[in-house]
Amino acid sequence: MIRLLISLFLLFICTDLKSQSENREPKSFKAFPIKSGDIKLDGRLDDTFWSDITGISDFLVQEPVEGGEPTEKTTIKIAYDENYLYIGAIFYDSEPDGIKAFKMRKDAPLNTDDRFMWILDTYLDGRNAYFFEINPRGLMGDGLLTIGQGRSLNKDWDGIWRPWTYIGDFGWSAEIRIPFHTLNFDPKTSTWGINFQRTIRRKNEEILWSGHKRNQGIYRPQDAGRLTGLNNISQGLGLELVGYGKAEALKVQNESEGDYNNSQSLDGGLDVNYNITPGLKASLTVNTDFAETEVDDRQINLTRFPIRFPEKRDFFLEGANIFRFAPSSGVYPYFSRKIGLRSGNPIPILYGGRVIGKIGKVEVAAQQVKTREIDNFSSEEFSVIRLKQNFLKESSIGVLYTRRHTNKGKQFVPPLQDRNTLGIDLTLNTSTFLKNQNLQFQAFAVIHNPELPGEINNNIWDRSARGLRFNFPNDPWSGSLSYREFGVSYDPAVGFSRRNSFRRVEPRIRFSPILEKSSTIRELKWEVSFENLMSLQWKKLTQNIRLTPLSIRFESGDEISYQIIRNFERLEYDFDILGDNSIIIPVGNYTNWSHQIELETANYRKIVYGIELNTEGFWSGNRTEYENELIFRPLPGINLNLGYIHSRVNLREGNFKTNLVRFLGDFDFTPFISFSSNIQYDDISENIGMNNRFKYTITPGSDIYFVYNHNWFNDDGKYKTSSMLGATKITYTHRF
């Protein structure tokens, strides 16, 4: 292993050094200074100064014909004053009636609409960038982009900025204003990395300014061009205050007595953010509340292992790109949902502190959080530190440390000591392997102290996880090879582990050519992967052979695919599949085949339908499952989504059916006023849950929320209320 790592290290150094001498000069253009009163922002670009500014129009197609000329012209211009960056964009369209623009909700996925995306690499390091996107109706999307194995875009970062858009006979246009105080940058540097991408949705045409090849693109800051001329710009004092006030009424069923407990509360809190340096921001949160946070999507779990739900709370989302550890390697020594949540229910957070940013070539993220003591749960303190040293052009080595302290842990029997976790990850990346191919390598190791003293499996090997991964992410050929081991006692206290006590190897290869001369088919894909999971004694536990004989993406945007899977499972203990002891799968070896068909119509249509049909051998019998999704968009801003998952299982031990229904209605009146309703039901828990949320953005960063949640349970065929919650929350942001 050591020899392999040394060989890879030398390979990447040689490749990286060679690429530095062979790299072509990147594209560049200049930002023009203006006076603050010279611009009227309405999306039309009819101010005099715009006509005096030189722009860029030299875009190239990424799809459908790599390197081809775009079918429609795009012009981008950039100006700035001391406090703001201004982007003016004109998207000419010969068929303006064909412009697609269904959505207005912030950060909604834009796989349905025409869109304009751009990135700002403010440190010009080719590793991190701010990501922004809009559509013709002024939808705003933003995030933090980090290079890695696969796309690393954290869209939960919320910057304070605003676009103005206009749709006319020429196509559509936009004026965008980004305050410099919403970005971190080095004021001594007058050149940033920048890139642009436009999507013409009805043609499924993707065009880029820089990095137009399929293995490049907008999500790779190392392929960006250059924006020059940014002189005398200011972040201000770098101080931000975010306060909130909340009123809440709660009604919860008292299960022991059959009546209800009612409570009302008024509360408030404060977040303080301060830029210690242009690249390092400190944050303090007091009495943090997440009343406005969206609910989790309900899932029926018929596996033996837990499900990892995504983080949705704003405080834990900022800086998440730095906290990420060995991405794509399937190891999570830090999982923020272990803080302030227990079985999905909130634990109040008393205070939290955080530092995120860069010190030279070192990326830094540190976090300290304390939860309140409630009911039978003791107050706890959580510490997380992440350091990542960048070297060469695209490589890094990082360290992650977490600590979990239970304030009354000594009162437990046996006493509950502090639980510490330490991880190290190495990433070696190059985009110039064989001149223009991407090649990536990743290795990691994690160890934690024992959760309880006196455990049998208590040595370092048992309490650790380690692995490595090779990745060749290119087009049309791509592939990967990964290996990892998780010890029998591996269970990080502030992390997530779906399964432990195994060795796993997985090779994968894919061929996905674009048919540039076809008027019907855009892309074909063939893929094969082999997952072999063994015990630490090399005994076969799980084996999956996955073959995709053919997947087709049509020029229209419709997609269809077919997959065959051969699965082997060694069950080493009786498995209570429904969790109620009604059906027990006995110990044994199980080999089964499954066939899966997926069909999805193009997302830009007003009515979109997708279905996934899966027929498979399942333990001692078989399962038929189909997942349906119907989306209806009658008017711009109205998106209605109905999902239904049905599973019919027939086993020697018994038969059962499961049903899960989801309805999500988004009603976006403007990009700043929206209402959503989320209703979910499954017949395993037999609970109905409804979440309604109204949001009004006064100005970017200052919002009003009205939230109403209602849950029902099945009581002998009649549904009764289990809980009701009504909350109003106001947040206000002021920056100095």
Section 460-467 average pLDDT? 94
- At 626-671, the pLDDT tens digits run 999 999 999 999 999 999 999 999 999 999 999 999 999 999 999 9
The model's pLDDT over 386-399, given as tens digits with 9 standing for 90+, comes to 999 999 888 999 99
pLDDT in tens, 90-138: 999 999 999 999 999 988 999 999 999 999 999 998 888 999 999 999 9
pLDDT band at 435 (very low <50, low <70, confident <90, very high): confident
pLDDT value, residue 8: 59
364-386 pLDDT, tens digit each? 999 999 999 887 788 999 999 99
Burial of 59: CB neighbours in 10 Å, binned 0-12, 13-18, 19+: buried
**pLDDT band of 238, cuts 50, 70, 90:** confident
pLDDT value for 47: 85
Residue 642 pLDDT: 97
**Picking from 9-23, 194-208, 213-227, 419-433, which range would have the lowest pLDDT averaged per residue?**
9-23
pLDDT band at 497 (very low <50, low <70, confident <90, very high): very high
Question: Per the structure block, which two tokens stand in for 211?
Answer: 């990095």
Token digits for 187? 């004021």
Mean pLDDT estimate for the chain: 90
Token reading at 412: 């437990």
pTM: 0.88
Given a cut of 70, is residue 347 above it in pLDDT?
yes
pLDDT grade for 1, boundaries at 50, 70 and 90: low
In the structure encoding, which two tokens stand for residue 75, read together?
Answer: 């012009």
Q: State the Cα–Cα distance between residues 415 and 215, nearest whole angstrom.
A: 53
What's the pLDDT tens digit per position in 570-599?
A: 999 999 999 889 999 999 999 999 999 999
β-pairing, 74-80 vs 32-33, is parallel
Question: What is the pLDDT averaged over residues 37-51?
Answer: 85
- The rounded percent of the chain whose pLDDT value lies above 90 is 68
Q: Rounded to whole angstroms, how far apart are CA atoms 629 and 645?
A: 9
Q: Are strands 280-288 and 588-600 parallel, antiparallel or unpaired?
A: unpaired
Nearest to 106, CA basis, from 170, 36, 162, 46: 162
d(CA 123, CA 307): 37
Residue in the block written with tokens 């293995």:
215
Predicted local distance difference test score (pLDDT) of residue 311:
84
What integer pLDDT is reported at residue 300 of this predicted model?
84
Q: How far is CA 503 from the centre of its chain?
A: 27
pLDDT of residue 151: 67
pLDDT digits (tens, 9 = 90+) for 449-462: 875 455 556 788 99
User: What token pair was written down for 518?
Assistant: 């076809």
Ramachandran bin of 357, using left for φ above 0, alpha for ψ from -120 to 50, beta for the remaining angles:
left
Close Cβ partners of 656 (under 8 Å, ≥ 6 residues apart): 578, 582, 583, 649
Q: What pLDDT shows up at residue 24?
A: 64
> Coil, strand, or helix at residue 683?
coil
Domains and CATH numbers, the chain: 31-228 (2.60.40.1190)
Q: What is the C-alpha end-to-end distance of the chain, expressed in Å? A: 52
Output the pLDDT for position 21.
Answer: 46
Per-residue model confidence (pLDDT) at position 5: 54
pLDDT value at 409 more than 70: yes
Provide the 3-class DSSP secondary structure of residue 98: helix
pLDDT tier at 246 (50, 70, 90 boundaries)?
A: very high
- Cα→Cα distances 365→146, 282, 359, 473, Å: 14, 10, 11, 28
Measure the CA–CA gap between 652 and 275, rounded to whole angstroms.
Answer: 63
What is the percent of the chain with per-residue pLDDT over 70, rounded to a whole number?
94
**Element at 499 (helix H, strand E):** none
